[in-house]
């Protein structure tokens, strides 16, 4: 896993990624429970042996990911505990990349769905519908949706844009689905519930694309990827 998302990180192997991951692991392990006030940026910089700007960038990412919040005069506190399964499945140094990959996908794949709905390539839409039918069958049979089928769906939507830039970007980014699927399965208490939910999310997307509702296609795709990210990192 390590190094596979280099195209989407601000600087390969950056110090801020390392600090992000160390704080992430500390929160996940319960060293800093919800409600705990974190040390100041200066104190963390000394603790980790890095500059204050490096800590500031890591803290910004943690805020964006909904793990901490900062209030003027009150400092920074932990507001959410991430899943430990991410640490178990992701290779060292790759957690920040995995987060950034989902962030990247929300924007790119949302627009890909929008364009696919505008293009209205009937042949490509037929391909997407065939994949969603596989997801429907999996949901009915109460089975896990294979990562390969999930990936095929996202790649097919990108192909339906008839724009090679979307296809290349999505093809590279969906590598996160392999790890994400494994993590989501360990966190879910109900295969039936998760599979049905994932199927419904995909169906909303393809229905919007098939009917040419570009705005709905974009919002449904963005919502789906955000939900997938929550299932991976929070288990919700």
Delimit the domains of the chain by residue range.
Answer: 6-81, 86-233
In the chain, which ranges are continuous DSSP H helix? 15-28, 41-48, 52-64, 85-89, 95-119, 122-140, 147-159, 164-173, 176-187, 191-210, 214-233
User: Tokens at residue 156, please?
Assistant: 């097919």
Q: In the prediction, which pLDDT does 101 show? A: 82
Q: Give pLDDT tens digits for 65-103.
A: 788 999 888 899 999 887 666 666 555 556 777 777 888
- How high is the mean pLDDT of the chain? 83
Q: Which of 31-40, 55-64, 226-235 has the lowest mean pLDDT?
A: 226-235
The percent of residues above 90 in pLDDT, for the chain, comes to 48
Sign for the pseudo-dihedral over CA of 184, 186, 188, 194: positive
Give CA torsion, residues 37, 41, 43, 47, to 10 deg.
100
At residue 70, the 3 state secondary structure works out as strand
Q: What angle do CA 29, 19, 74 make, to 5 degrees?
A: 75
- Which numeric CATH code is attached to 86-233? 1.20.120.530
pLDDT recorded at residue 204: 97
Q: Which helix (H) or strand (E) segment is 76 a member of?
A: strand 75-78
CA 52 to centroid of chain Cα atoms: 28
| Mean pLDDT, range 101-120, rounded to an integer | 94
Domain made up of 6-81: CATH architecture: Orthogonal Bundle (1.10)
pLDDT at residue 141 tops 50: yes
Rounded to a whole number of angstroms, the distance between the first and last alpha carbons of the chain is 24
In total, the chain counts a number of residues equal to: 236
Give the pTM.
0.69
């Amino acid at each position: 896993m390590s190094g596979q998302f280099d195209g989407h990180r601000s600087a390969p192997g950056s110090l801020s990624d390392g600090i992000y991951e160390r704080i992430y692991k500390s929160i996940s392990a319960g060293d800093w429970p919800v409600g705990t006030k974190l040390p100041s940026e200066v104190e963390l910089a000394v603790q980790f042996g890095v500059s204050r700007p490096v800590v500031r960038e890591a803290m910004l990412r943690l805020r964006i990911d909904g793990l901490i919040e900062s209030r003027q005069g009150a400092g920074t506190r932990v507001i959410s505990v991430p899943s430990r399964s991410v640490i178990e499945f992701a290779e060292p140094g790759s957690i920040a990349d995995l987060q950034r990959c989902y962030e990247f996908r929300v924007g790119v794949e949302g627009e890909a769905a929008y364009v696919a709905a505008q293009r209205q390539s009937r042949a490509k839409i037929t391909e997407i519908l065939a994949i969603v039918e596989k997801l429907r069958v999996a949901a009915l049979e109460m089975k896990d949706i294979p990562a390969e089928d999930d990936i095929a769906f996202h790649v097919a939507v990108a192909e339906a844009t008839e724009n090679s830039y979307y296809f290349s970007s999505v093809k590279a980014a969906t590598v996160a689905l392999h790890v994400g699927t494994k993590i989501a399965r360990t966190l879910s208490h109900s295969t039936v519930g998760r599979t049905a939910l994932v199927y419904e999310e995909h169906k909303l997307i393809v229905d919007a694309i098939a009917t040419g509702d570009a705005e709905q296609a974009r919002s449904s795709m963005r919502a789906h990827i955000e939900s997938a990210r929550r299932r991976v990192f929070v288990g919700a």
